[in-house]
Amino acid sequence: MEKATSPRASDIAYDKIRQFVLSGRAEPGQQLTEEQLARISGVSRTPVREAVRRLENELLIVRSDSKRLFVADWSADDIDEMFVLRGMLEGHAASRAARTISARQLEELSRISDRLDAAVRCSPPDVAAFLTQNRRFHDIILEAARSPRLSAMLPMLVEQPVVRRTAAQYKTEELLQSAREHRELIAAFGARDSLWARAVMTSHIRRAFHVFSTSAKRHKEQRQAND
């Protein structure tokens, strides 16, 4: 039985501010003051500061030379590298998970995979559900890898711009392929084949990069056409 976690103010602040930044309500490069963030999250500055520390570590917020806060603004190179790093780290996570995953977790992955399929096959595809389940899938692998270090590092590689990109950009075909890759990961885990698992995961992330990349290009061209 799960117990409801006590709602600590610093966690509330963390969630609210993170939401504020990721939702795009905050412009990249925009200054944030602690007081403003305190107002937004409805708590005092003290827990806000703790939340900001965490977000700063995830590089969603950056500090100027003299401690003023700004919404992070990522270059194309930053984003490229994030995918490279995610490929390495999630590949490693998959490799470890293949050795240590429990039957319980394997079943859970299967269930999620079913939901992923369902989300894709209905029309129109339920992209929001897909993204939620996708995230859960990867979280379980991370959990199965049993590495505190990976668990601390991977959250730094959340892709702000990907989240912001509207759901409509995803094509059914791409989602189908993604779901297939999830199935193959489960197969690799079932076979306890760490090399296979790593290879599938690396390829999975890399493909996501190319989907994102071409989508970003389309996006840019459209904007230029509108000018």
Q: Is the peptide bond before 47 cis (omega within 30 degrees of 0)?
A: no
Contacts of 214 (CB under 8 A, 6+ apart): none
The answer to whether residue 148 forms part of the interface with its own copies (CB under 8 A) is yes
Q: Which of 85, 118, 131, 176 binds its own copies (CB under 8 A)?
A: 85
Cβ at position 179, least distance to DNA in Å: 40
Among 25, 27, 29, 45, binds DNA (CB under 7 A): 45
Q: Quick one: what does residue 9 bind among its own copies, DNA, none, with the CB cut-off 5 to 8 Å set by partner type? A: DNA
Instruction: Give the angle 77-145-109 at the CA atoms, nearest 5°.
Output: 95
Q: How far is the CB of 36 from its own copies (least distance, A)?
A: 20
Determine, following the binding rule CB under 7 A, whether residue 39 of this chain makes contact with DNA: no
Residue 94: closest CA among 196, 210, 208, 207: 196
Q: Which is closer to DNA, CB of 32 or CB of 93?
A: 32
- Measured distance CA(31)–CA(49) in Å, rounded: 15
* 3-class secondary-structure state, position 7: coil
Interface residues with its own copies (CB under 8 A) are 46, 49-50, 53-54, 57, 59, 78, 81-82, 84-85, 88-89, 92, 96, 147-150, 152-153, 156-157
